Amino acid sequence: MAFELPDLPYAHDALASKGMSAETLEYHHDLHHNAYVTNGNKAIAGTEWEGKSLEEIIKGTYDPKAVAQNGIFNNISQLWNHNQFWEMMSPEDSKMPGGLEKALVESFGSVDKFKEDFSAAGAGQFGSGWAWLVKDTDGGLKITKTENGVNPLCFGQTALLGCDVWEHSYYIDFRNKRPAYLTNFLDNLVNWENVAGRM
Interface ranges with Fe ion (CB under 5 A): 164, 166
Nearest residue (CB) to Fe ion, 84 versus 144: 84
Contacts 24+ apart (CB under 8 A), 96-102: 96/192, 96/196, 97/192, 97/193, 97/196, 99/196, 99/199, 100/192, 100/195, 100/196, 100/199
Amino acid at 66: A
Nearest residue (CB) to Fe ion, 108 versus 164: 164
The nearest distance, CB 22 to Fe ion, in angstroms, is: 16
CB 49 within 8 A of CB 61: yes
The nearest distance, CB 33 to Fe ion, in angstroms, is: 7
Helix, coil or strand: residue 130: strand
The nearest distance, CB 91 to Fe ion, in angstroms, is: 19
Nearest residue (CB) to Fe ion, 100 versus 159: 159
Instruction: Tell me the residue number closest to Fe ion, measured at CB.
Output: 164
The nearest distance, CB 93 to Fe ion, in angstroms, is: 24
